[in-house]
A and B are shown apart, each in its own frame.
Chain A
Amino acid sequence: MHDASDLGVVAAPAVGLRARGWGWRHSGRTAWALRGVDLDIAPGERVLLLGPSGAGKSTLLAAAAGLLDDGAGESEGVLEVDGLDARAARTAPGAPGTSRTGLLLQDPDAQTVLARCGDDVAFGLENHGLPAELIWPRVDDALRLVGFPYDRAHATSALSGGERQRLALAGVVAMRPGLLMLDEPTAMIDPDGARLLVESVAGVVGLSPHAGSLRSTVIVVEHRVEQWLGVVDRVVVLEAAGGVIADGPALDVLAEQGPELFRLGVWVPPRFRAGAGGPARSAEATGAAVPRGETVPRGETVPRGETVPRGETVPRDAAVAGGETERADATSVAGSPGTSEPGRTIGSDGPARSLPALTARDLAVRRGRLAPVLTGVDLDVVPGEVLFLTGPNGSGKSTLALALAGLTAPAGGELVAIPELAGAVGPHPVRWRARDLVTRIGTVFQEPQHQFVAGSVQAELAVGPRQARVAAPDAARRCAEVLGRLRLGALALANPFTLSGGEQRRLSVATALVTRPGVLVLDEPTFGQDAVTWAVLVDLLRELLGSGTAIVCATHDRDLVETFVDEGRGRELRVGDGTVRPVAPTVAPIAAVVAG
């Protein structure tokens, strides 16, 4: 039993997990989500569970937490927590206010139960029947342990995604679970929030200089490996059909399986990606072959964290030489040092074709009818270049992106499209009819499901061309082409909502491309994506830039920004404090280096 006086030392008996030939099949499916799992996790071990998307990692955690009922599907084999059947372990009596398992889920928005932070942490303790007078000390303890910056009375509605996730962690930790399970806890929060969450977890399990800590067993499921290496001591690799395919000390498994895991889409740290064949390079190596247009350089797809040797990026210029002539001008200007300054546009000394497609002057943007989040925004959206909008959560990146996409009305100032883009429908995108908009500016939302309106992938792709009055044979040809290019051909008849996260992302990009817009606006396109989808997107963006598309991209993904900025084809604007500021590239543009 616990007592309220030992606030400094939070001790919970660690709980082990044992699986023997365990499998689970969701009701209504013919395939097993996972099968043949043999796994022993000893009390106190900290395990990172890896595997390709769809390997059933989340299912295993949900089952271990006792959340999979008979009605939800069918199980086989044995899954035990603390020596009890996992389902029984959830409800079997223990000490009041403690639970055998604690599970932190992916979506911060779907884990906040109550309006005040303290009440939310207390929720689990109440459910577990802890006497009221012991609850609040325990709540304070949990909030302190995760490094939560606010007091109990703080409103949960005012929290950012990362803070919300740490609050949810406090709610789990407060119950002193013997087995702490984290299901992709950082997939939906920004990098700063992710770093703080990992620090919180490290603190909770006693890996930081906190006074007291839980001695729980920890199981983490996460695509992004690097951030957890300081926390976990063991890596287990799962495969849907094969059960456990690798298991051992973290660094050993990564050294052995790194290239294979990377190929499957796991964000393996760069030093573990190299197989015998050298660094994992380009889309082919990551299994993400995308047909490229002739004008696209056969450059490197550089997943996360790798810097390209200067010389290897030179093919960009070579490709320009072999490409369209008007592109050659635009790109060579784009590569010159001055173009990263806002206000000075590529068009100012280039041919008419590379004038900014969209120009914002003194633009103010807002959500709904709220006060503007950004004011005084001056920027140009230039063909053949990615304009990155970066900045912390809630700074207004997405709001600005929606305004640039002609989806929300400016709260002040103006957004003007050049006649070449606008055609006969006037210079103000927000006044265009939707069907005119889709052929001019395409938008890919952060949440692909927001954009799905049809019952199959094929029908989904046909919506845009039909609305835009594209002739049927032409529309069919375009759909077929986009299906092939984004490798969705095999899924043409599938319901968009049943696709995996990466497939949904590719489909939402495909729906925007099929109407061939001159400007493409992307909101967090790489959020929560595995390494394979990431590489596909990067290749696709390169290809679009090569064909003269102007791209706007709101993102937290430093690797994405740096990839294009380093190539001289990206420009970064930092959004924050109510306006935007240009970010000077940290390295000199490559064209200048090559020239010198």
Chain B
Amino acid sequence: MTVLSLGADRDLRPDAFVARANPVAKLVVALLVSLTLLLTVDVVTAGVALALEAAVLPWCGLSAAGLLRRGWIVVAGAVPAGLVTTWLGVDSGEVLLAVGPVTVTQGSLLAGCAITLRILSVGLPGVVLLATTDPTDLADALAQVARLPHRFVLAALAAMRLFALMGSEWESLGAARRARGIGDDGVVGRARTASGQVLALLVLVIRRGTRLAMAMEARGFGAPGARTWARTSRVRRSDLGVVLAGVVIVTVATVAGILAGTWHLALT
């Protein structure tokens, strides 16, 4: 999450069509794409979906450079996954390359490409969602539009803020351990130190979380009675447009896959 939210603000145009849409609309599109591509592993469906997503990127408010900066971790996962499938996947068709036990065939190459494209096309809407959505707005929308229980949503939001502090806490703990003379006893010692440090971090986070919960409770969180919302999360006509665009993307991709004969249900 933090990896995705890094990057300069010049990558963002918050007034873009998708960027200013209700977070729930963006979430629906991301879920639609994920579900559609969960059904099949094929080059055509994933490729068409990715191409269409790239085509609408200019309306998303996130530049291509910004997309790469925030979404590199998706690429870093997609490419190796595809390569591994290409080398080790089920072989079929013409043998393109054979080095020792590793054979690359037409079938495994296609499967590898499909895997990479699938991860990228699922990841892209997610990156756009996270990059163009303020967490507070997302929580507001989840509670008011998607009607998720507000206690759950707000507690998760507060917890996210605590997670942001974990990086510096981890650093302090590491320095504090070195100051105690711990951490240079070879691999085993280092592993033991690291696990102790994780435990210490958990203790600190839980203690802070407990105090935060107390502060929230002192301000009426969780009290009976209706809660009001200072920021109203509204669904507008344009949000419907965003969802429709998502429907068009997944439909076109699936139809293209079926017409090309590459679409097949991955679950069977």
Q: Which residues of A contact B (CB under 8 A)?
A: 62, 65, 67, 90-91, 93, 99, 101-103, 105, 107, 109-116, 119, 122-132, 135-136, 139, 156-157, 168, 171-172, 175, 367-368, 402, 405, 407-408, 433-435, 437-438, 442-443, 445, 447, 449-453, 463-464, 467-468, 497, 511-512, 515
Of B34-42, B172-180, B254-262, the segment with at least 4 beta carbons within 8 Å of chain A is B172-180
Provided the pairs A450-B176, A467-B180 are in contact, do residues A367 and B227 lie with their beta carbons within 8 angstroms?
Answer: no
| Contact A109–B165 (Cβ < 8 Å) | yes
**Separation in Å of the B232 CB from the closest CB of chain A?**
6
| Contact A129–B228 (Cβ < 8 Å) | yes
Provided the pairs A93-B225, A368-B171 are in contact, do residues A453 and B179 lie with their beta carbons within 8 angstroms?
Answer: no
**A and B contact pairs by CB, cutoff 8 A, 23 listed:** A111-B211, A111-B212, A112-B161, A113-B154, A113-B158, A124-B219, A126-B228, A126-B230, A127-B222, A128-B220, A128-B225, A131-B228, A132-B228, A368-B167, A434-B180, A434-B184, A438-B181, A450-B200, A451-B177, A463-B180, A467-B181, A468-B181, A497-B203
| Contact B218–A105 (Cβ < 8 Å) | yes
Bound: A24/B152 CA distance, A: 31
**Separation in Å of the B169 CB from the closest CB of chain A?**
8
CB-contact partner of B218 in A102, A449, A512, under 8 A = A102
Provided the pairs A127-B227, A408-B175 are in contact, do residues A103 and B218 lie with their beta carbons within 8 angstroms?
Answer: yes
- A residues less than 8 Å from B223 (CB atoms): 90-91, 127-128
Provided the pairs A110-B211, A367-B168, A367-B171 are in contact, do residues A129 and B226 lie with their beta carbons within 8 angstroms?
Answer: yes
- B residues less than 8 Å from A445 (CB atoms): 172, 175-176, 179
Bound: A583/B182 CA distance, A: 36
Interface flags for B179-213 (1: CB within 8 Å of A; 0: not) read 11111100000000000100010011000100110
Bound: A175/B230 CA distance, A: 14
- B residues less than 8 Å from A103 (CB atoms): 215, 218
| Contact A129–B215 (Cβ < 8 Å) | no
The interface on chain B, measured as residues whose beta carbon lies within 8 A of the other chain's beta carbons, has a size of 50
Identify the closest chain A residue to B179 (Cβ). Answer: A443
| Contact B181–A67 (Cβ < 8 Å) | no
- B residues less than 8 Å from A135 (CB atoms): 228, 230
Provided the pairs A107-B208, A111-B212, A175-B219 are in contact, do residues A132 and B232 lie with their beta carbons within 8 angstroms?
Answer: yes
Which of A115, A442, A443, A445 has most B Cβ within 10 Å? A115
Q: Name the interface residues of B126-173: CB closer than 8 Å to any CB of A.
A: 134-136, 154, 157-158, 161, 164-165, 167-168, 171-173
Bound: A109/B227 CA distance, A: 25
| Contact B214–A453 (Cβ < 8 Å) | no
Bound: A57/B22 CA distance, A: 47
Bound: A135/B232 CA distance, A: 12
CB-contact partner of B220 in A99, A136, A468, under 8 A = A99
Q: Does B72 contact A (CB under 8 A)?
A: no
| Contact A136–B218 (Cβ < 8 Å) | no
Q: Does B64 contact A (CB under 8 A)?
A: no
Q: Name the interface residues of B54-84: CB closer than 8 Å to any CB of A.
A: none
Identify the closest chain A residue to B225 (Cβ). Answer: A129
Bound: A443/B174 CA distance, A: 13
Bound: A110/B139 CA distance, A: 20
